[in-house]
Amino acid sequence: MHKRSVFVAGAVLILILAVLLGSIAWLSHVRGRKTGLVFGEKVAVVEVKGVIADAQPTIENLTEFSKDTSVKAVVVRIESPGGGVSPSQELYQEIGRLASDKPVVVSMGSVAASGGYYIAAAAQKIYANPGTITGSIGVIFQFTNLEELFKKIGFRMEIVKSGAYKDVGNPSRPMTAEERAYLQAMIDNVHQQFVRDVAQGRRMPVEKVREVADGRIFTGEQAKELGLVDELGNLKDAIDAAAKMAAIEGEPKVVYPDKEKRSLLDYLVKRAAEGFTRRVGQYMGLLLLCPLPGGAYPS
């Protein structure tokens, strides 16, 4: 009788756990989230969208997946025309750091140019669509000269500065030859960093990268011919390649970073699931030591 009670209690616990996990999966589905409780070996997808201005949120996602032992590979999906130099370099460094530990594959969307290509170069493999706009290996400063307009409307700026170059780019006057040379030297230095990092990430000679690093954009097909892209394919192709590189058998389980904003329900469900799973695990460890009716044992 005692054995039968233990068996029934165990069955009820398993049923409750199944219902709870099903509810969590359903909540994740209706909320459009692809995270949640996914068991087994996984491929994580980290998205980089829009102008690259703040690298920190993406770095946090990459760091999280680097520490997750169930995540065997990472795909970085890029939809970006570029952005700031420093955040692009930060992401390049972080992707390279992750790639030294796990397979990292880049999937380019409609555009992955300039800073978008910069960060892609750190991955072990790059996938692009045939019509993806990429490349644009270059650096640019843009200043507006409003001198003639200011004259027409009677507007004048009075500048007090601590040094000759403190008001470089002042829209009320033309740029001097010295200022232009100063800015050109800085641009050239940043451009050299860009070329050097692409060459290092793509394992290409610096001279070969420099040949295409004049700001030109390329289609995915053209980029592949130039060695800037490895394969033509979509996001699924990149995920499959990452799974293969990580030796994941069968259809890879795909996860995305949690959304930054979580509702109270999300938090309570997650904590309840963690606590319940821990309790069931402890109980099942005891249940496996108990013989079931008829002398059968769990396999």
pLDDT of residue 23: 59
Give the global pTM.
0.74
pLDDT of residue 247: 95
Report yes or no: 119 and 52 within 8 Å, Cβ to Cβ: yes
**Per-run averaged pLDDT (10 residues), the chain, 299 residues:** 56 64 52 50 95 95 94 97 95 97 97 97 98 96 92 94 93 95 96 97 97 97 98 97 94 85 55 49 34 30
Report yes or no: 129 and 229 within 8 Å, Cβ to Cβ: no
All structural domains of the chain with their residue ranges: 1-36+260-299, 40-136+216-257, 138-208
The rounded distance, in Å, linking the Cα atoms of 28 and 31 is: 5
- For the annotated catalytic residues, the residue numbers are 114, 166
- Statement: 40-136+216-257 belongs to CATH 1.10.150.120: no
pLDDT of residue 30: 42
pLDDT of residue 291: 32
pLDDT of residue 234: 97
Crossing angle of the two packed helices 56-67 and 85-99, in degrees rounded to 10: 10
pLDDT of residue 188: 96
Compute, in degrees rounded to 10, the torsion defined by CA atoms 217, 222, 225, 231.
100
CA torsion sign for 50, 55, 56, 60 is positive
pLDDT of residue 74: 98
The rounded distance, in Å, linking the Cα atoms of 194 and 214 is: 11
